[in-house]
Every structure is written in structure tokens, then in C-alpha cells.
Structure 1
Amino acid sequence: MPNPPRPAAFLRPAALLLAAALALTGCGAEVTPEPDRRAAGQDRDAHYPVTVENCGEKKTYDRAPQRVVTNDIGITEIMFALGLTDHMAGYVMPDDKGDTDSVPWKDGYRKTKWLSKERINKELVLDARADLVFAGWNYGFNEGEGFTPAELKRVGVDSYLLSESCRNGQGKARGVMPPLEALYTDLRNLGKIFDVEDRAATLIASFEKEVADARAKAPKGSDRPRVFLYDDGKDKPLTSGAYAGPHDIITKAGGDHIMKDLKDSWTTVGWETVVDRDPEVIVINNYGGTSAEQKRTFLKTYQPLAGVSAVRNDRIVVLDYVDLVESPRNPAAITSLARELSEAAS
């Protein structure tokens, strides 16, 4: 799972903010570069230093990082969506990252070096001469492998933590804010760090309108179907609590997320809990070595689930990993799932 799981947006104009910066495409918004401040007779250095709060820690930047290494697809696409390709030294992600040719920031993939298909590590970061690593707990950072923000700081490399992965003070449990708020927080913070706050505001406005449009058409009240997110696992299912992307994707798409009481991001539960809560729709996370079709077959043939409404009525939906972890694809995933849940509710 991030190194949880490793899992499209038609963005409409959002009033005045979108006029200058978005080129709308079939699955998202591509940010056009802002004019250089120096060319406009402005002093870029006047923006700095800036301070942001990241996972409860205040961090100050005297200049924009110039050689950022990102880990995982959602994190990488946050940088691309903000038009920050020129600030990247490269990205790390597996070769099952899915379709990157139809996303609006496909040029980011073309222009940025794919550093590795394996796990990110300190040696790779140093070889890339990185000045900042954008990753998260279990999205690259892991004490067990000795790859942590503290270890990077020791060798002179800064870190920015994905807000979905922030630890909440209960051991290693993750999640400190609602999922979409985490995405918007990171966009705002990075906008400030890289002096592209207008781009960030424009992107957030477009996402907010995408979500609002989807919610207006989504099931409401007693019509909301009960939904379970299935990532993987046979003895115990890996699923999403209240602080991972699927919670907002399910609830804002008009579903009743049956694991909304879990105060964590990605975690395991018992099958008996799933059976007791009787989901009417199951969303499969298309991720990892087990295919979505193999997961579907397991769910439909696992005897304890035979009486569950979603299995009996074959209401099983597939979304990709990058749709379900914090990423610029979250709003489009809400739009897509809202259509599925509307059919289930009718």
C-alpha cells in the first residue's frame, strides 16, 4: 500500500481565475507557464523567504528548490499540474504507472527524467543532486529502510511530505485532514514555495468546480449507496479510512463510505466488518501485482461475501491507483464514480 497502493478530469472554467492559466482538455487542466518576473521588471527574490506548514512543521525556504525528486505517480503529477517541470531533477515510480499519454500534463513525463522503477533511496537522491524530495510516509519515506526526512536533512537535502501521509500522533497512523483538503493544502504550499501561487489558486478553483458539478448530480440522502473500497488482501482486506483519497471520492460522488469511522488513511479491517456493513457498491483499486479482474473474481467467489449486496448484484467498480491516492486526478475520479453511483441508486 502507498508504498500503500500505487494506484480524469474534464475541468470546466471556474469564473475569472481560469481565464489566464488553464488549457482545458478531456481529462484535466494544463497550467500554462507564468511570465518570468524579471522579464516583467519584478524582483523574484522579493518573494522569499517564505514559510509553510507541512505535517505540523513550519518550514522556511529562502529560494525555490531547483532539483526536486518526486516519488510515486500522484506526487509527480502534482508538480506537473503546477507547471513545475523545470524545477525537477526526476521522478521515481514503477513501470505499471498506467496511462500517462492522455493526461493534460503528459509533456511533464516527456521532459522529466524517469530516475528509477524501483524504490526511492538516499543514493538515488544524492546521485540526482536533489535539493528537495517530495514524497510521503509509506509513499517512499520509511524508517525500516532508513529513508526518512531526518536522514535526508543530515546529508543536506530538504523534504516535503505529502499531506495525505502525515502521521496523526497515534503511532504510525496517517491522516490529519480530509483528503481533498490535503490535496489543496499541498497545492497552496507548493504554490508559495515555488512562487506560483496564482497557478495553484487557479488549479484549486477548477478542481472545486469539478467536484461541485459532480456533487450536484450525485445521489443524496437515503439514496446514497453504501460503498466499500477494496485494495487487496484475502485474509484481511486493505482499505481506506477517513483520511485517504477514497473517502472524499466516495462521499462526494454520492456514496456512504462504510469505513468512514476509521481514523487513518490506508489500513486493514476484518471481513466480518465488511459483511456486517453490507456495501451496495465495491470500488476496486487497480493496483499492484494482482489485476483488477483477479480482485473481482476473488470478491465474487469468496464465500463469506456471497450475501453482500454489491456481490449479489454485481455492483463492482474499478478505479486506478492514481485516482484514489492524493493526486490531481481526484476530482475527475469523483465525477466518474458519481455516474456509477447514480446508476446504482436508480
Structure 2
Amino acid sequence: MQTKRPAVVALAGALCLAATACGASSTPAANAAAGASAPGYPVTLKNCGETTTYTQAPKRVVVMNGASVAEVSTLLALGLGDRIVANEQSYGRSEVAGRAAAIRRLPTGNVTLNDASDIPRETMLGLRPDLVLSTTSYGFDAKNGFATREDLRAVGANTYVSPQGCDQDTSRMTIDDSYRLARDLGKIFHVGDRAEKLIASSRRHIAAVRAKVKGETTPNVMVVFSNMSMGGNDFSSVAAHGIWNDILARAGARNAFASASRTTFADLSKEKVAAEPVDALVVISYNDPHAEAYARKLLKEFPQWPAAKNNRSLVLSDSIYLGPSNDLAVEKIARMLHPDAL
């Protein structure tokens, strides 16, 4: 999720994705479609206004960047890493032990990315995918130099846009969208039992945390991407609306800057940030090895914050965004804010 294009376009557009086109008869998906369906198939999904049908589990999956790790992390959590032929997603770190290393080991398809830090059209078609995953519809927009859903359908490949990504507005995203992503991929790959176990485990974990923090005070938390610039002000990567607000609420907190913008991100002056009584700071690291230093810098810059006086900050990466590990973010934030309760 998502430093100007990849931050501005990937985060603002993606929180916004390949060689010569192959004929449909030469693709794995087209060959499968010509024969009988595998056991448990066909599976039909409606996704962003399109109906896609699967006659077997995809075997050549391409995961577009979109400044996300939601899709690749969900595939790994469902035990489907061996289906990936090209993955362009990485946050460089993860709250899940071994997850970042597992992502680094995945094939990249030896892709030369375009100016939007993603897979250009001809390269995408040359990868011969049978399924392409994109965080938002941005990844299938011809104006951005990408293969469209129609282009991919013509060579026998299905496409999937993650929840709340149809209109590229992720401000309405909640933890339930992470569950929907897992459930949809479970259906596509005929591993629905794994998806339901993952979802049930997350729900239990979050419910246990919520029960412990019930009745506690509700601190104001600033959520900001580390060392990113996406606007004209000093603080242009402040999270205002989206899945983090749902995570904060379940951890017994509120977003300090939810009223500062109606969109996913707020573009704020230093004065606006300074005026808010921030009780705690959550820094999101997107491929930034210096996120902890950035957190310390902010606390030093705003010594009037209760967060600075109490040295209360936390660095998270994939768990606070769409994906299979939101329960970890809920617990870590709750533990920072309500240590006596947990």
C-alpha cells in the first residue's frame, strides 16, 4: 500500500499493476476452458461489474503491485504460493514471522516494471497468466499502460480486483474486506475450508482483544506512512479513512485525523498536525528500513503530544492494511494503548 509514483499513484490511486500477446488457444486457462471442469468447478464470481468463471484452480497467477501485499499475503496464508509465476508486491517486512522472506522467495517473472512501478501490457500478456490479481481497477486501465481485463480475457486469463478496489476508493475498507478477499480466493482455488479457518481464527483473536479493552479510554491515534509524500503539505500521507479506522476501533482507539479529510488520506500542514492532541502514533512502513527512526523523529518534532510525553509509538506494515493479518494489528495497537488490560 502503497516518494512520488509509486507513492502518489500507488497509494493514492491504488489504495490504487508483460513479450508478445499469445493466442487464446495457447494459454493454460483457454486450454482448461476447452475441456471438462475439474471437481468442485465451475466457480463463478461477480467482481467489479464482471462475471468470471473458473473451470479449474488457476496455475499461473500474476500478482500486480498496487502498493499492496494483501493479495500475495492472502495467497501465502492459504498455501497457494506455488501457483504464483510473477509477484510484484512487497512491503519489505511483515508482522507475520517468515512472511517477508517467503514473499522475497517468490518468482518475479523477471519483469521490467514501467514508470508506474508495475507490469506493462505486453509483458503481462507474455507471462501467459490464467489469473491476474490487482488491488484496484487501476491495474487494468489501458491509460496507465496496463493490459485491460478485456485484453486478458482474450488470452484466456481471468482477472480479480480486490474488495473496495473497483472505484479505486479504499476509504470505505474494513476488516470484513480482508475476509472477503480470503473467501473469494478460497472459492477460486477450491480451498474454501482454509479460508474459513483463517477467517474464524482472526475473528476469535480480535473478539478476545476487544473484550479485554472494553470500557477503557479511547485514545487518539495518528496513522501515517513513513517518509512518504503524496501531496503539497508537510504531512500528506496521514491516514484519515479506511481499514485502519476499523482496526483502531477494535483495538479501543480512534483515528485522530478522521475529520481532517473525507478521502483515504489527509494532506495536512505541520500546524494542523501540531494542534491535534495525539495520544499515540502508528507509523506504517512501506519498504522503508528507517520507519522506527521516522517515528522517533515525529515524537521529537511534536513534544506537546501526549504520545511524545509517554513515548508511545508503534511501527506496523502489512497487518494494518488489507490482508490476512489484521488481527495482529488489532492486538499490537491494543497492547500499546492498554498494556494493563492485555
The yes-or-no answer on 1:330 pairing with 2:323 is: no
Q: Which runs of 5+ in 2 are unaligned?
A: 3-9, 16-35
Q: Which amino acid aligns with 2:124?
A: V
TM-score (norm 1): 0.72
Conserved in 2, the CA contact under 8 Å of 1:237 and 1:271?
Answer: no
**Distance across 1 between alignment mates of 2:267 and 2:142:** 20
Aligned positions of 1:168-207 closer than 5 A? 172-176=168-172, 178-207=173-202
The yes-or-no answer on 1:52 pairing with 2:45 is: yes
CA RMSD, aligned part only?
3.5
Residues 30-77 of structure 1: CA deviation (Å, up to 9, x unaligned): xxxxxxxxxxxxx97353332223345443333332211113433211
Conserved in 2, the CA contact under 8 Å of 1:280 and 1:309?
Answer: yes
Conserved in 2, the CA contact under 8 Å of 1:67 and 1:129?
Answer: yes
Conserved in 2, the CA contact under 8 Å of 1:285 and 1:319?
Answer: yes
Shift of 1:84: 1.8
Q: Could you tell me which residue of structure 2 aligns to residue 76 of structure 1?
A: 72
**Distance across 2 between alignment mates of 1:334 and 1:68:** 30
Percent pairwise identity: 28
Shift of 1:270: 4.4
TM-score (norm 2): 0.73
Shift of 1:120: 2.5
The yes-or-no answer on 1:4 pairing with 2:11 is: yes
**Distance across 1 between alignment mates of 2:272 and 2:340:** 22
Is the alpha carbon distance of 1:158 and 1:266 closer, same or farther for their aligned partners in structure 2, counting shifts above 3 Å?
farther
Q: Could you tell me which residue of structure 2 aligns to residue 25 of structure 1?
A: none
Conserved in 2, the CA contact under 8 Å of 1:149 and 1:158?
Answer: no
**Distance across 1 between alignment mates of 2:92 and 2:215:** 36
Q: Which amino acid aligns with 1:136?
A: T
Is the alpha carbon distance of 1:55 and 1:237 closer, same or farther for their aligned partners in structure 2, counting shifts above 3 Å?
same
Conserved in 1, the CA contact under 8 Å of 2:299 and 2:305?
Answer: no
Aligned positions of 1:1-346 closer than 5 A? 2=2, 3-4=10-11, 45-55=38-48, 57-72=50-65, 73-93=69-89, 97-98=92-93, 102-103=97-98, 110=105, 112-115=106-109, 118=113, 119-121=117-119, 122-137=121-136, 145-147=144-146, 149-150=148-149, 152-153=151-152, 156=155, 157-167=157-167, 172-176=168-172, 178-218=173-213, 220-221=214-215, 223-231=217-225, 232-233=228-229, 235-243=234-242, 245-261=243-259, 262-289=261-288, 291-302=290-301, 305-320=302-317, 322-343=318-339
Conserved in 2, the CA contact under 8 Å of 1:165 and 1:265?
Answer: no
Conserved in 2, the CA contact under 8 Å of 1:55 and 1:166?
Answer: yes
Q: Which amino acid aligns with 2:11?
A: P
Is the alpha carbon distance of 1:116 and 1:342 closer, same or farther for their aligned partners in structure 2, counting shifts above 3 Å?
farther
Q: Could you tell me which residue of structure 1 aligns to residue 29 of structure 2?
A: none
Q: Which amino acid aligns with 1:64?
A: A
Conserved in 1, the CA contact under 8 Å of 2:125 and 2:152?
Answer: no
**Distance across 2 between alignment mates of 1:139 and 1:318:** 28
Shift of 1:330: 1.7
**Distance across 1 between alignment mates of 2:61 and 2:289:** 31
**Distance across 1 between alignment mates of 2:292 and 2:163:** 31
Q: Which amino acid aligns with 2:337?
A: L
Residues 3-55 of structure 1: CA deviation (Å, up to 9, x unaligned): 32999xxxxxxxxxxxxxxxxxxxxxxxxxxxxxxxxxxx9735333222334
Q: 72-81 vs 116-125, which deviates more?
A: 116-125
Is the alpha carbon distance of 1:82 and 1:139 closer, same or farther for their aligned partners in structure 2, counting shifts above 3 Å?
farther
How many pairs does the alignment contain?
299
Is the alpha carbon distance of 1:286 and 1:93 closer, same or farther for their aligned partners in structure 2, counting shifts above 3 Å?
same
SS in 1 for 2:332: helix
**Distance across 1 between alignment mates of 2:131 and 2:138:** 15
SS in 1 for 2:135: strand
Is the alpha carbon distance of 1:214 and 1:116 closer, same or farther for their aligned partners in structure 2, counting shifts above 3 Å?
farther
Q: Which amino acid aligns with 1:185?
A: R
Is the alpha carbon distance of 1:342 and 1:296 closer, same or farther for their aligned partners in structure 2, counting shifts above 3 Å?
same
Q: Which runs of 5+ in 1 are unaligned?
A: 8-42
**Distance across 2 between alignment mates of 1:270 and 1:70:** 36
Is the alpha carbon distance of 1:123 and 1:291 closer, same or farther for their aligned partners in structure 2, counting shifts above 3 Å?
farther
**Distance across 1 between alignment mates of 2:149 and 2:37:** 30
**Distance across 1 between alignment mates of 2:313 and 2:184:** 36
